[in-house]
Amino acid sequence: MKHFSIKELTRSMTAERLGIDNTAPAEAVRALTRLVDHVLDPLREALGGPIYVTSGYRCRALNRAVGGAAHSQHMRGEAADITTYSREGNARMLALLRQLPVDQVINEHDLQWIHVSYHAPGRRQFLSIP
């Protein structure tokens, strides 16, 4: 884990606001570490600029509070929502993700952010949500 931290991947303004303890259990920390090692750090290196995590690990209560999917990979530490805070940068990330061992990539709302997950062996699924 070169460019990201567990603290960054578990931080949530929603959890703080609602008083939800979003501490990741050991199994989720291991999954987050694999996500960073196999996808996020290599993506950051290839991009050559910062990547911001807007949502990483979510405990069940936080996932419910944000309206996450019932079986979201965020709850297992296998997923993160990421952005460069520009559509151009996000488009570049999307292209670079095709070269990495991702499980699932979702272009959310015309490149406002990108959902990425890692689970070996992965599905190699690329989707868009308008």
Provide the CATH number for the domain around residue 103. Answer: 3.30.1380.10
Give the model confidence (pLDDT) of 21-59 as tens digits.
Answer: 999 999 999 999 999 999 999 999 999 999 999 999 999
pLDDT attached to residue 29: 98
Binning pLDDT at 50, 70 and 90, where does residue 9 land? very high
Residue closest to 116 by CA, chosen among 89, 99, 94: 94
* 92, amino acid identity: R
Binning pLDDT at 50, 70 and 90, where does residue 107 land? very high
Number of structural domains found in the chain: 1
In a domain, 1, yes or no: no
In a domain, 121, yes or no: yes
In a domain, 72, yes or no: yes
Q: Tell me how far apart the alpha carbons of residues 119 and 1 are, in angstroms, rounded to a whole number.
A: 17
* 93, amino acid identity: M
